[in-house]
């Protein structure tokens, strides 16, 4: 969308209860609300759930990562030679590890709630819907209503799992990534339909708990937006751990019974399991907002179009987070909210999301990347070289028994500018930020030789950067 025209000057007679109303308290809503409050704006926030945090805290990012952490530690314990001759632990269930996730959810929600209190932001609990471009109706759980008005409104309602028609999500053996947190039985075999980020993460979790997992991928490879080598490493690790990956498959129907489910695929295959996790796509939470009242229309995925300031085609209405689509990351959503708030407070904002947004995928092991892939650089005919470090050669990885994985640095053969960082292995989502910090330096500051000339603590996983940099520089032709 092109940049919107200047907002019309309001008449002095216009007055509103608030300078801004934020609908939703996920990362995008929080980023907008906090920054508007710090700009001395009077802010109200509407949250339909009983506690703040949005899907990020309650159903998505935090719960799945907490579950993943518990399972990863269990796997690490089982593989540690110090415990091979002691009593083996009982098999943990999904309910066991949910307890840890629940604790984290509570802590995060309580912390984020305190932010709103400290910044004197008014909180309304209920369902929000537009009356007009400056007015929002809040319907509370008891049926009572409040009508709020504001000069500016920010939509930060997030997204929810896509539910195709014909699949009975009310059945106790059929789950999506929200309802899986209510799983009460201990499945021995699980079907994960959809091999995107969420599907791959939960496939790791269930496999780590000892379940047999069938991962149904509607495409020809896992996570094709990642660097091919990193994606292939995950595919091999899944295969080696016993996960059955079925590529290029589409569902025909889901047959349910009291004992489990049978997934019928269009290829004619049938896959049987105790339950199915549907993890194939998401849709924006815009259907209950009464967008028609303000002349807005979401696309087929429930998403809204915005300009560089996150402004919709209605000048005083903004949208941030999952509800606008790409990149659909909690980290990016917070920055979008912050940038939108600055644009609202100042009329414009020179800040933008960084070009190279890091990706962290919390499979077991983790995957993370920032910048260009080899495939993108080759297609663009950019001359580059590759530096690699295998974790199995690092002392810290040997000490911690986290030897699966590697780090890859892509850099320009002439300028030595870092073009991409790709990592597979334990703590990959943390390790990648070391490389990102150097990538973001301008001019001569972004140079792969930095990793050779600096001194890293020893032993650390960060040492992988020195190893990879030397490996890549040694490949250069004089």
Residue 281 labeled ligand binder: yes
* Cα–Cα distance, 232 to 229 (Å, whole number): 5
Is the distance from CB of 212 to CB of 191 less than 8 angstroms?
Answer: no
Residue 418 labeled ligand binder: no
CA angle 185, 191, 192 (to 5 degrees): 110
Residue 24 labeled ligand binder: no
Residue 50 labeled ligand binder: yes
Residue 201 labeled ligand binder: yes
Residue 423 labeled ligand binder: no
Residue 53 labeled ligand binder: yes
Q: How many angstroms from the chain centroid is the CA of residue 428?
A: 15
Residue 376 labeled ligand binder: no
Residue 151 labeled ligand binder: no
Residue 48 labeled ligand binder: yes
Is the distance from CB of 205 to CB of 66 less than 8 angstroms?
Answer: no
Residue 52 labeled ligand binder: yes
Residue 56 labeled ligand binder: yes
Residue 57 labeled ligand binder: no
Residue 157 labeled ligand binder: yes
Residue 194 labeled ligand binder: yes
Residue 196 labeled ligand binder: yes
Residue 107 labeled ligand binder: no
What the block records as the tokens of 394 is 């690092």
Residue 54 labeled ligand binder: yes
Residue 65 labeled ligand binder: yes
Residue 198 labeled ligand binder: yes
Which residues are annotated as part of the binding site for FAD?
Answer: 47-56, 65, 157-159, 322
Which residues are annotated as part of the binding site?
Answer: 47-56, 65, 157-159, 194-201, 281, 322
Which residues are annotated as part of the binding site for NAD(+)?
Answer: 194-201, 281
């Amino acid at each position: 969308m092109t940049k919107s025209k200047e907002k019309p000057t309001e008449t002095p007679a216009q007055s509103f209860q608030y300078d801004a109303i934020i609908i939703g308290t996920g990362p995008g809503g929080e980023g907008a609300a906090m920054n508007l409050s710090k700009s001395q704006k009077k802010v109200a926030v509407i949250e339909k759930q009983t506690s703040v945090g949005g899907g990020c805290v309650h159903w998505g990012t935090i719960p799945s990562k907490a579950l993943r952490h518990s399972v990863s530690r269990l796997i690490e314990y089982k593989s540690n030679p110090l415990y091979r001759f002691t009593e083996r632990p009982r098999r943990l269930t999904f309910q066991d590890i949910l307890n840890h996730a629940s604790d984290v959810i509570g802590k995060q929600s309580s912390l984020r709630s305190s932010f709103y209190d400290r910044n004197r932001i008014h909180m309304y609990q209920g369902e929000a819907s537009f009356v007009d471009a400056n007015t929002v109706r809040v319907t509370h759980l008891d049926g009572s209503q409040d009508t709020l008005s504001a000069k500016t409104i920010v939509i930060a309602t997030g997204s929810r799992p896509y539910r195709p028609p014909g699949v009975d999500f009310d059945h106790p053996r059929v789950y999506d990534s929200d309802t899986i947190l209510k799983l009460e039985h201990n499945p021995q075999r699980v079907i994960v339909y959809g091999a995107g980020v969420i599907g791959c993460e939960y496939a790791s979790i269930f496999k780590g708990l000892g379940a047999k997992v069938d991962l149904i991928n509607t495409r020809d490879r896992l996570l094709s937006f990642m660097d091919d080598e990193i994606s292939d490493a995950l595919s091999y690790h899944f295969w080696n751990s016993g996960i059955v990956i079925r590529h290029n498959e589409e569902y025909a129907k889901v047959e349910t019974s009291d004992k489990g489910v049978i997934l019928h695929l269009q290829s004619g295959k049938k896959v049987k399991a105790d339950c199915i996790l549907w993890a194939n796509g998401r849709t924006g939470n815009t259907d209950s907002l009464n967008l028609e009242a303000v002349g807005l229309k979401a696309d087929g995925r429930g998403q809204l179009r915005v300009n560089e300031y996150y402004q919709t085609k209605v000048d005083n209405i903004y949208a941030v987070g999952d509800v606008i689509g790409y990149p659909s990351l909690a980290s990016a959503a917070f920055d979008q909210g912050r940038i939108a708030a600055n644009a609202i407070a100042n009329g414009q904002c020179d800040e933008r999301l960084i070009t190279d947004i890091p990706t962290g995928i919390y499979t077991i092991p983790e995957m993370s990347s920032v910048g260009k892939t080899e495939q993108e650089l080759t297609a663009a005919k950019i001359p580059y070289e590759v530096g690699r470090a295998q974790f199995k050669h690092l002392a810290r990885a040997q000490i911690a028994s986290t030897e699966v994985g590697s780090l890859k640095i892509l850099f320009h053969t002439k300028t030595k500018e870092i073009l991409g960082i790709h990592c597979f292995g334990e703590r990959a989502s943390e390790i990648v930020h070391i490389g990102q910090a150097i990538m973001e330096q301008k001019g001569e500051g972004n140079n792969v030789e930095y990793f050779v000339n600096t001194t890293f603590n020893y032993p650390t996983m960060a040492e992988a950067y020195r190893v990879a940099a030397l490996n890549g520089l040694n490949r250069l032709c004089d």
